[in-house]
Amino acid sequence: MADPRDILVEVVYTFGAEAGRYSCTLGEGTPGAMRELFSNTVEQALRETPNVWERPGARRYVLKQVARIGRESARVARQTPGAEITVDIFIQTAQELTAQQQLVCDRMAATRPEWALISGVFCMNLPWLRR
C-alpha cells in the first residue's frame, strides 16, 4: 500500500504547479486548508480502496482532478488584485469541482454501478482506472 504522506506531497505539488503556471501565490492559511482537504481525501481514499494509488490510471485521474482545482483556483485568483489564491477561493473552487465530480459518480453509479465507487472525493473504480 502506498504511503499517504508520499501521495499528499504529489497532490500538493500538482496543485502548486498549476497555481504557479498562472503566476498565482497562496494566501495566508491556504496551504493549511489544502493540506487538510487533501490529506483527509487521501486517507479516506486509501481506507476505502487501499491499493488504488498503485494503479497508474487512478493516480493520473486523481492528479488530473487536483490540477483542475488548482487551475480553477488560479483563474479566479487572477481576477483579484495580487492574484492570490485565498482560503475562500480554494475552498469554494474545491467544493464546486468536487460537487461536479460527485454528480458524475452518482450518475455513473445509477447506470453502471460496477463502474463508480466514490473513494474520497473521486470515482476510483472506473474501468479505465483499473489499468
| Cα angle, residue 94 at apex, residues 101 and 82 outer, rounded to 5° | 145
Do the beta carbons of residue 35 and residue 13 sit within 8 Å? no
| Cα angle, residue 21 at apex, residues 15 and 27 outer, rounded to 5° | 60
Nearest to 109 by CA among 101, 99, 120, 117: 117
Per-residue pLDDT of the chain (131 residues; tens, 9 = 90+): 677 788 888 888 999 999 999 999 999 999 999 888 888 777 777 777 777 777 777 778 788 888 999 999 999 999 999 999 999 999 999 889 888 877 877 777 777 766 655 555 555 554 444 44
C-alpha cell at 117: 465507487
- Provide CB contacts within 8 A for 49, sequence distance 6+: 117, 119, 124, 125
